[in-house]
C-alpha cells in the first residue's frame, strides 16, 4: 500500500499533474498544446537577440501538430489526435506553450486567448511565459481570467544561478523571477516554475540548489523538471563541441530527480519530470526518446529507496548535501 497522500496510484510517490487534475475535475483532462503566434523578447531584440542557447527555432514547440493554423483549427486537430487513444475525454486545458505568451500588447494577448476560451470543453488555460513579461495590465487581465476559469501561469526560470543564465543567454536575472511570482500570487494565480537539469557547468549540487531556492524564495504551486535536450541548429551545440556540456546519463538523471522530489513539499504539483523532443532534431541524450522507460525508472527508484516527494521537505527544515556549494 502506498502511504503517499497525493496519489491514487500505488506506483506513484509524487503529486502528479494527472492526479491534481482528477481531483479538480473528477476525470481525465487533455492538455491541448497550441502555438499562439507570439515571439520572445530574447529573440526579437527587446532584451537580447538569438534566444536561449538551448532553444530550437520553434521555441520549445517542436511537438505542436499544426502551428501555422488558426488557433481553433490547431485545437481541433490536437484533440482529434488525442481522441484516437482516449475517445471519451471531453474536458480540455489549452496550453500556450512555445515562445513567450504574454510578450505582446494587451489587446493582442486578449484577442488570442479569447479565441480558445469558449471552445467546446475548454475548462482552463495554461500560459507559458517569462518572468520579465508580466506588465501590470497583463497581470490584471490574467487575474480576470483566473476568476473565469482554471488557470496556470508557467514561468520559465531554468536556473537560479546567474553564471549559468549568462552562459545560456537567459537575459533576465533571478530577482526578476522572484518579483514575477510575487505579482502573480497577489492575485492568487497558480504558478508553475520550469527548471532544466543538465545545463552547462551545473553540478548535481547546483541542480538541487535550483529546487531549494525556488521553493524557499517563492510561493509556487507547481514545478516542471526538464531534462536538457541538445537539439540541432541551436547555439548550445557550440558548448557541446567545446566540452562545456556533458549530457546526463539516464541513471544520473533519475537519481537527481528522486533527490529533488524528496525536497519538494507534497502539496506542490509535479507537472513534468522529463520532456519530449523530435527524434530527427535530437542530438542527445538519445535515451530520452523512451519517455515512459524514464518515468518508470523514477517510480522504481523511489520505491527501492522507500522515499517520496517531501520526505525531506525543505520548507520544514529538510536537509540535503549543499555545504560544498559556492554561491
Contact 130, 100 (CB under 8 A): yes
Q: Say what the pLDDT of residue 64 is.
A: 67
Residue 36: which of 128, 119, 122 has the closest Cα?
Answer: 128
Helices (H), the chain: 17-25, 71-83, 106-117, 136-148, 162-167, 174-185, 204-217, 236-241, 250-263, 291-304
Q: What is the DSSP string of 48-95?
A: -BS--TT--TTSS-TT-S-TTS-HHHHHHHHHHHHHTT-TT---EEEE
Q: What residue ranges of the chain have pLDDT lower than 70?
A: 1-2, 57-65, 319-327
Look at the block and give the residue holding cell 536556473.
Answer: 159
Q: pLDDT (tens digit, 9 = 90+) per residue, 237-274? A: 988 888 888 999 999 999 999 999 999 999 999 999 99
Q: Say what the pLDDT of residue 90 is.
A: 93
Q: Say what the pLDDT of residue 319 is.
A: 64
Cα 243 from Cα 236, distance rounded (Å): 11
Q: pLDDT (tens digit, 9 = 90+) per residue, 82-121? A: 999 888 999 999 999 988 999 999 999 999 999 999 999 9
Q: Say what the pLDDT of residue 182 is.
A: 98
Q: How many CA atoms lie within 13 A of 129 on its CB side?
A: 26
Q: Is the dihedral of CA 222, 320, 276, 49 positive or negative?
A: positive
Q: Say what the pLDDT of residue 303 is.
A: 94
Q: Say what the pLDDT of residue 313 is.
A: 94
Q: Say what the pLDDT of residue 51 is.
A: 85
Residue 55: which of 36, 40, 35 has the closest Cα?
Answer: 40
Cα 299 from Cα 20, distance rounded (Å): 18
The residues near 146 (Cβ < 8 Å, ≥ 6 apart) are 187, 188, 189
Largest CA distance in the chain: 54
Q: Say what the pLDDT of residue 298 is.
A: 97
Amino acid at each position: 500500500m502506498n502511504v503517499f497522500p497525493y496519489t491514487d496510484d500505488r506506483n506513484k510517490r509524487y503529486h502528479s499533474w494527472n492526479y491534481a487534475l482528477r481531483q479538480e475535475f473528477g476525470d481525465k483532462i487533455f492538455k491541448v498544446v497550441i502555438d499562439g503566434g507570439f515571439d520572445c523578447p530574447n529573440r526579437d531584440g527587446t532584451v537580447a537577440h538569438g534566444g536561449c542557447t538551448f532553444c530550437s527555432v520553434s521555441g520549445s514547440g517542436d511537438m505542436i501538430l499544426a502551428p501555422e493554423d488558426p488557433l481553433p483549427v490547431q485545437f481541433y486537430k490536437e484533440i482529434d489526435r488525442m481522441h484516437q487513444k482516449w475517445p471519451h475525454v471531453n474536458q480540455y486545458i489549452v496550453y500556450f506553450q512555445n515562445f513567450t505568451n504574454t510578450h505582446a500588447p494587451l489587446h493582442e494577448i486578449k484577442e488570442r486567448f479569447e479565441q480558445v476560451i469558449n471552445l467546446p470543453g475548454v475548462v482552463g488555460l495554461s500560459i507559458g511565459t517569462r518572468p520579465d513579461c508580466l506588465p501590470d495590465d497583463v497581470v490584471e487581465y490574467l487575474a480576470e481570467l483566473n476568476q473565469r476559469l482554471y488557470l496556470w501561469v508557467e514561468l520559465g526560470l531554468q536556473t537560479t544561478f546567474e553564471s549559468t543564465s549568462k552562459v545560456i543567454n537567459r537575459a533576465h536575472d533571478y530577482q526578476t523571477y522572484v518579483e514575477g511570482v510575487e505579482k502573480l500570487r497577489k492575485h492568487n494565480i497558480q504558478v508553475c516554475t520550469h527548471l532544466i537539469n543538465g545545463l552547462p557547468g551545473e553540478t548535481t549540487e547546483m541542480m538541487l540548489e535550483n529546487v531549494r531556492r525556488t521553493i524557499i524564495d517563492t510561493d509556487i504551486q507547481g514545478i516542471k523538471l526538464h531534462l536538457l535536450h541538445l537539439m540541432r541548429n541551436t547555439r548550445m551545440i557550440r558548448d557541446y563541441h567545446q566540452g562545456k556540456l556533458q549530457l546526463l546519463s539516464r541513471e544520473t538523471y533519475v537519481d537527481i530527480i528522486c533527490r529533488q522530489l524528496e525536497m519538494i513539499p507534497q502539496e506542490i504539483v509535479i507537472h513534468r519530470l522529463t520532456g519530449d523532443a523530435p527524434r530527427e532534431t535530437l542530438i542527445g541524450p538519445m535515451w530520452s526518446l523512451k519517455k515512459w522507460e524514464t518515468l518508470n525508472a523514477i517510480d522504481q527508484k523511489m520505491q527501492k529507496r522507500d522515499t517520496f516527494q517531501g520526505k525531506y521537505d525543505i520548507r520544514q527544515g529538510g536537509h540535503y548535501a549543499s555545504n560544498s556549494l559556492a554561491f
